[in-house]
Chains A and B, each alone.
Chain A
Amino acid sequence: MSEPQTALQGATAQGFVTVSEDGLHGMISLRGDLNDPKLKAAVAKLTGAEVPAAGRISWKGDRGVAWMSPDELLVIGPYSSAGKDALVLSKALKGVHHLVANVSDARAVFRIEGAGFREVLAKLTPADVSMDAFGIGQIRRSRFAQVAGACWMLEEGSARVVCFRSVAGYIFGLLEHAARSGSEVGYF
């Protein structure tokens, strides 16, 4: 069997912040009624994290749940167990109207670390990434230059950017360029 690879083989770039491609993530798309107690229980049992409120992401250990839309969650976990986890979810949701899909290979994830990470995001997206609007535990789906993407924040001083795998090279180029030393704006 061939080994799973990330889109850019863990590319990194150092500017006034560090941009690096994150490792493989297990990602499961889950659609259904997010208020359904059975769905809530299934997600909590698998991830240990609560179903998040609108625009938020909850995290526990190496697993998380992100709010994508009023009827969609992104369940994040280890890459190796994503296929099994998807089966666990669909079994637990038997009889409940839902959709579960393992989309782990569909996306690429980038880490932006450093005090100026908000600057890098703000150069590329129309989303409000100021401290008031984008803080720990929040996810914002938006666009980065010309492609769709999302960013979330789990800790102070860094954010993750997630996009479709097919545009990983484009997004990395954008982030690397926006993070070049000497191009700080100093707004935040």
Chain B
Amino acid sequence: MLLLECPYCGVAADETELAAGGEAHLKRETVGSLDAEFEEYLFMRENPRGVHFERWRHAYGCGKWFLAARDTMTLEVFGTYPAQSKKPPKAIENLIKKKRPDWKGWA
């Protein structure tokens, strides 16, 4: 069972109260982008065995989107943060670096 803390409500929400939204921090391509860049944006997703950043929605609660950093193999949650973030907060990044020294960075 995956428990993620909603950064808005402050409650530990169960996986079944949430809706998964796929990979976080995608860069949206727009007018003038190359076909290859569009392909990357529309279809290509990371599928790591380890540290991953994801979008989640607190569907059965406040209804807001948030982002989560977790390990897809151990299900360890490093932290959650608001969806308005362009990149993970420094604190979460430092925590991951400490716990997973071989992690290559979020981008």
List the interface of chain A (C-beta within 8 A of B): 54-55, 68-70, 72, 126-128, 133, 140-143, 148
Contacts and interface: CB of A to CB of B under 8 A. Distances in A.
B6 to A, nearest CB: 10
Given A126-B17, A143-B17, A69 B64 contact: yes
B101 to A, nearest CB: 33
B62 interface: yes
A69 B6 CA distance: 11
Contacts of A72: 62
A141 B14 contact: no
B32 interface: no
Interface of B: 8-14, 16-17, 60-64
24 contacts: A55-B9, A55-B10, A55-B11, A68-B62, A69-B8, A69-B9, A69-B61, A69-B64, A70-B8, A70-B64, A126-B13, A126-B14, A126-B17, A127-B11, A141-B9, A141-B60, A141-B61, A141-B62, A142-B13, A142-B60, A142-B61, A143-B16, A143-B17, A143-B60
Contacts of B11: 55, 127-128, 133, 140
B5 to A, nearest CB: 11
Secondary structure at chain B's binding surface: helix, strand, loop or mixed? loop
Contacts of B12: 128
A30 to B, nearest CB: 15
B63 A142 contact: no
A70 B16 contact: no
Contact of A69 (B13, B14, B62): B62
A54 B17 contact: no
A126 B4 CA distance: 12
Given A141-B60, A141-B62, A142-B17, 12 more contacts: A54-B8, A55-B11, A69-B8, A69-B63, A70-B8, A70-B64, A72-B62, A128-B11, A128-B12, A141-B9, A143-B16, A148-B60
A13 B19 CA distance: 34
A114 B20 CA distance: 37
A83 B14 CA distance: 36
A161 to B, nearest CB: 14
A42 B39 CA distance: 50
A126 B8 contact: no
Nearest to B16: A126
A184 B101 CA distance: 48
B28 to A, nearest CB: 24
